[in-house]
Chains A and B, each alone.
Chain A
Amino acid sequence: MDIIVKDSPLVTVKDVRQTYDKGASGQLVVLDNVDLTLRPAEIVGLLGRSGSGKSTLLRAIAGLIRPSGGSVTFQGQPVTGPCSGVAVVFQSFALFPWLSVLENVELGLEAQGVLPAERRKRALAAIDLIGLDGYENAYPKELSGGMRQRVGLARALVVHPKLLLMDEPFSALDVLTAETLRTDLLDLWCEGRMPIEAILMVTHNIEEAVLMCDRILIFGSNPGHVIGEIKVELPQPRNRLDPAFRALVEDIYARMTTKTGAAAPARDGLFPGTGIAMVLPRVSTNELAGLIETVAATPYDGKADLPPLAADLRLGIDDLFPVAETLQLLRFAELEGGDLRLTAAGKRFAESEVDERKRQFAQQLATYMPLAAHIRRILDERPSHKAPARRFRDELEDYMSEEHAAETIKAIISLARYAEYFAYDEEADLFTLENPS
Chain B
Amino acid sequence: MVFLPNDRHGQSAVAAFLRARLLPNRHDLIAFALVIAAIALVLHGTHDMRASMEALSNAPVSLDIGHLPEYALRTTLRMFAAIIASLIFTFIIATLAAKSRRAELVIIPALDILQSVPVLGFLTFTVTFFIGLFPGSQLGAECASIFAIFTAQAWNMAFSFYQSLRTVPRDLDEVSRSFGLSAWQRFWRLDAPFAAPGLVWNTMMSMSGGWFFVVASEAITVGNTTVQLPGIGSYLALAIDQKNFSAVAWAVGAMAVLILLYDQLLFRPIVAWAEKFRFEQTASQDKPRSWVYNIMLRTRLMKWLTVPFGWMWDRLMLVRFDGGKTAAQSTSVSRASGIIDRIWLILVLAVTAWGAWIAFDYVHQTLSWGDAKEAFGGGLVTLLRVIILIAVASVIWVPIGVWIGLRPAVAERVQPLAQFLAAFPANVLFPFAVVAIVATGASPNIWLSPLMVLGTQWYILFNVIAGASAFPTDLKEAASVYQIRSWTWWRRVILPGIFPYYVTGAITASGGSWNASIVAEVASWGDTKLEAYGLGAYIAKATEAGDFPRVVLGIAVMSLFVTLFNRTLWRPLYVYAERRLRLD
Q: How far is the CB of A426 from chain B (nearest CB, A)?
A: 9
Contact assessment for A18 and B282 in the assembled complex, using a CB-CB cutoff below 8 Å: no
Contact assessment for A97 and B279 in the assembled complex, using a CB-CB cutoff below 8 Å: yes
Contact assessment for B193 and A88 in the assembled complex, using a CB-CB cutoff below 8 Å: no
In the assembled complex, the Cα of A355 lies from the Cα of B283 at a distance in Å of 47
A42 close to chain B: CB less than 8 A: no
A92 close to chain B: CB less than 8 A: yes
B330 close to chain A: CB less than 8 A: yes
Q: How far is the CB of B536 from chain A (nearest CB, A)?
A: 39
Q: How far is the CB of A28 from chain B (nearest CB, A)?
A: 10
- Give the nearest-CB partner of A21 in chain B: B332
A111 close to chain B: CB less than 8 A: yes
Contact assessment for A107 and B178 in the assembled complex, using a CB-CB cutoff below 8 Å: no
Contact assessment for A110 and B317 in the assembled complex, using a CB-CB cutoff below 8 Å: yes
Chain B residues, CB < 8 A from A90: 171, 174-175
A265 close to chain B: CB less than 8 A: no
Q: How far is the CB of B327 from chain A (nearest CB, A)?
A: 4
A96 close to chain B: CB less than 8 A: yes
Q: Which of B174, B280, B326, B333 contacts A94 (CB 8 A)?
A: B174
B439 close to chain A: CB less than 8 A: no
Chain B residues, CB < 8 A from A148: 281
A142 close to chain B: CB less than 8 A: yes
Q: How far is the CB of A111 from chain B (nearest CB, A)?
A: 4
B325 close to chain A: CB less than 8 A: yes
Contact assessment for A142 and B283 in the assembled complex, using a CB-CB cutoff below 8 Å: yes
A280 close to chain B: CB less than 8 A: no
Interface size, A (range): 35 or more
B475 close to chain A: CB less than 8 A: no
Known contacts A64-B329, A81-B325, A113-B318; A94/B175 CB under 8 A? yes
A347 close to chain B: CB less than 8 A: no
In the assembled complex, the Cα of A229 lies from the Cα of B552 at a distance in Å of 73
Contact assessment for B332 and A19 in the assembled complex, using a CB-CB cutoff below 8 Å: yes
In the assembled complex, the Cα of A94 lies from the Cα of B329 at a distance in Å of 19
B189 close to chain A: CB less than 8 A: yes
- Give the nearest-CB partner of A159 in chain B: B179
- Residues 61-73 of A, flagged 1 when their CB comes within 8 A of B and 0 if not, give 0111110100000
A139 close to chain B: CB less than 8 A: yes
B584 close to chain A: CB less than 8 A: no
A112 close to chain B: CB less than 8 A: yes
In the assembled complex, the Cα of A64 lies from the Cα of B328 at a distance in Å of 5
Contact assessment for B177 and A64 in the assembled complex, using a CB-CB cutoff below 8 Å: yes
Contact assessment for A80 and B327 in the assembled complex, using a CB-CB cutoff below 8 Å: yes
Within A61-111, the residues touching B (CB, 8 Å) are 62-66, 68, 79-84, 86-88, 90-94, 96-99, 107-108, 110-111
Chain B residues, CB < 8 A from A142: 283
Q: Which of B4-12, B180-188, B251-259 contacts A (4 or more CB under 8 A)?
A: B180-188
Chain B residues, CB < 8 A from A93: 171
Q: How far is the CB of A393 from chain B (nearest CB, A)?
A: 18
Within B237-284, the residues touching A (CB, 8 Å) are 276-283
Contact assessment for A59 and B327 in the assembled complex, using a CB-CB cutoff below 8 Å: no
Interface size on B, residues (CB 8 A): 39
- Residues 153-184 of B, flagged 1 when their CB comes within 8 A of A and 0 if not, give 00000000000000001011011011111100
- Residues 324-349 of B, flagged 1 when their CB comes within 8 A of A and 0 if not, give 11111111110000000000000000
Chain B residues, CB < 8 A from A81: 180, 325-328
Contact assessment for B185 and A94 in the assembled complex, using a CB-CB cutoff below 8 Å: no
B108 close to chain A: CB less than 8 A: no
Chain B residues, CB < 8 A from A84: 180
Contact assessment for A65 and B328 in the assembled complex, using a CB-CB cutoff below 8 Å: yes
Contact assessment for A86 and B329 in the assembled complex, using a CB-CB cutoff below 8 Å: no
In the assembled complex, the Cα of A148 lies from the Cα of B282 at a distance in Å of 12
Chain A residues, CB < 8 A from B279: 97
A314 close to chain B: CB less than 8 A: no
A243 close to chain B: CB less than 8 A: no
A377 close to chain B: CB less than 8 A: no
Contact assessment for A59 and B190 in the assembled complex, using a CB-CB cutoff below 8 Å: no
B320 close to chain A: CB less than 8 A: yes
Chain B residues, CB < 8 A from A68: 331-332
Contact assessment for B328 and A66 in the assembled complex, using a CB-CB cutoff below 8 Å: yes
Chain A residues, CB < 8 A from B196: 98
Chain A residues, CB < 8 A from B182: 111
In the assembled complex, the Cα of A81 lies from the Cα of B269 at a distance in Å of 41
Contact assessment for B283 and A116 in the assembled complex, using a CB-CB cutoff below 8 Å: no
A6 close to chain B: CB less than 8 A: no
Chain B residues, CB < 8 A from A63: 178, 328
Within B271-306, the residues touching A (CB, 8 Å) are 276-283
Within A133-181, the residues touching B (CB, 8 Å) are 139-142, 148, 159
Q: How far is the CB of B584 from chain A (nearest CB, A)?
A: 18
Q: How far is the CB of B299 from chain A (nearest CB, A)?
A: 18
Chain A residues, CB < 8 A from B283: 141-142
A300 close to chain B: CB less than 8 A: no
Contact assessment for B328 and A82 in the assembled complex, using a CB-CB cutoff below 8 Å: yes
In the assembled complex, the Cα of A7 lies from the Cα of B182 at a distance in Å of 35
Chain A residues, CB < 8 A from B277: 97-98
Chain B residues, CB < 8 A from A96: 172, 175, 189-190, 193
Chain B residues, CB < 8 A from A64: 174, 177-178, 328-329
B314 close to chain A: CB less than 8 A: yes
Known contacts A86-B178, A96-B172; A111/B330 CB under 8 A? no
Contact assessment for A20 and B180 in the assembled complex, using a CB-CB cutoff below 8 Å: no
In the assembled complex, the Cα of A80 lies from the Cα of B177 at a distance in Å of 12
In the assembled complex, the Cα of A83 lies from the Cα of B178 at a distance in Å of 7
Chain B residues, CB < 8 A from A108: 179
In the assembled complex, the Cα of A141 lies from the Cα of B326 at a distance in Å of 29
In the assembled complex, the Cα of A328 lies from the Cα of B197 at a distance in Å of 49
Q: How far is the CB of B275 from chain A (nearest CB, A)?
A: 10
Contact assessment for B329 and A65 in the assembled complex, using a CB-CB cutoff below 8 Å: yes
Q: How far is the CB of B117 from chain A (nearest CB, A)?
A: 35
Known contacts A63-B328, A66-B328, A90-B175; A111/B180 CB under 8 A? yes
Chain B residues, CB < 8 A from A115: 318
Chain A residues, CB < 8 A from B333: 21
- Residues 181-218 of A, flagged 1 when their CB comes within 8 A of B and 0 if not, give 00000000000000000000000000000000000000
Chain B residues, CB < 8 A from A21: 331-333
Chain B residues, CB < 8 A from A86: 178
Q: How far is the CB of A150 from chain B (nearest CB, A)?
A: 15
Known contacts A97-B280, A112-B180, A159-B179; A65/B331 CB under 8 A? yes
Known contacts A111-B179, A111-B182; A97/B278 CB under 8 A? yes
Contact assessment for A82 and B171 in the assembled complex, using a CB-CB cutoff below 8 Å: no
In the assembled complex, the Cα of A94 lies from the Cα of B178 at a distance in Å of 12
Shortest Cβ-Cβ A-B pairs, 10 listed:
A94-B171, A66-B328, A108-B179, A81-B327, A111-B179, A98-B193, A111-B181, A82-B178, A94-B175, A98-B277
Chain A residues within CB distance 8 Å of chain B? 18-21, 59-60, 62-66, 68, 79-84, 86-88, 90-94, 96-99, 107-108, 110-113, 115-116, 139-142, 148, 159
Q: A64-B174, A81-B328 are in contact. List 12 more A-B contacts (CB 8 A).
A: A64-B177, A66-B331, A81-B327, A96-B190, A97-B276, A97-B277, A97-B281, A98-B276, A107-B189, A110-B189, A110-B317, A111-B182
Chain B residues within CB distance 8 Å of chain A? 169, 171-172, 174-175, 177-182, 185, 189-190, 193, 196, 276-283, 311, 314, 317-318, 320, 324-333
28 contacts between A and B (CB under 8 A): A21-B333, A63-B178, A64-B178, A65-B329, A80-B327, A81-B180, A81-B326, A83-B180, A84-B180, A87-B178, A88-B175, A88-B178, A94-B175, A96-B172, A96-B175, A96-B189, A96-B193, A97-B277, A97-B278, A97-B279, A98-B196, A98-B277, A110-B317, A111-B179, A112-B179, A116-B311, A116-B314, A148-B281
